[in-house]
Amino acid sequence: MSTFWKIGVVGALIVLVLVVVVLKAEQTSRDTGNRESTGFPADPSTSSSDASPPAESRPRLVDLGRNTCIPCKAMAPILEEMKREYAGVLDVVVIDVSKDTAAAGKYGIRLIPTQVFYDASGEEIDRHEGFISKADILATFRKHGVAIGSPQ
């Protein structure tokens, strides 16, 4: 291979690396700019006027995943059970990021499933990526001093 081609290949690789670095920095900037630091992020299924926490504030668990993801499928019955058992005590919101692609950016999602935990005042208190059991969900709230109470 001639020196000319070697220089061209090295130059092309440098340009490619720079493009990747710039795009990654841009994505990180967008993700951090879209995350709200206080209050509940707007539920994508509601209008912007419904974005504030309800008058009767409760702890909230937001699960972001897809219906085709194996850990997400495993979590579905747990989340449905928690919606029923803790109705009126804990808000459980499930967002399918394949149907609401903007939610992934809004919540700063890197991996699915991701669970975002909020206290009753709407402040994010924890995050978890991957499958999480019901016991671990309740333990996460307890770890942050959020009492969920007994199921109904």
The share of the chain scoring above pLDDT 90, in percent, equals 59
Confidence of residue 36 (pLDDT cuts 50, 70, 90): very low
User: What predicted TM-score, i.e. pTM, was given to this entire model?
Assistant: 0.64
Residue 3 domain-assigned? no
3-state SS of 7-68 is HHHHHHHHHHHHHHHHHHHHHHHHHHHHCCCCCCCCCCCCCHHHCCCCCCCCCEEEEEECCC
- Give the domain extent around 127: 48-143
CATH of the domain at 126: 3.40.30.10
Task: Quote the number of domains for the chain.
Answer: 1
pLDDT, tens digit, 9 for 90 and up, residues 45-65 = 333 333 344 446 899 999 999
Residue 51: per-residue pLDDT: 37
User: Residue 120: inside a domain, yes or no?
Assistant: yes
The answer to whether 119 touches 59, Cβ cutoff 8 Å, is yes
With respect to residue 25, please indicate whether it lies within any of the assigned structural domains.
no
Whether 69 is covered by a domain: the verdict is yes
133 assigned to some structural domain: yes
Average pLDDT over residues 123-137: 96
Which residue would you say has higher pLDDT here, 124 or 4?
A: 124
Q: Is residue 102 part of a domain?
A: yes
Residue 91's Cβ-count burial label (10 Å; 0-12, 13-18, 19+) is buried
The DSSP bridge partners found for residue 65 are 96
Sign of CA dihedral 24, 99, 58, 147: negative
Provide, rounded to the nearest whole percent, the portion of the chain with pLDDT above 70: 68
Flag whether 149 is in a domain: no
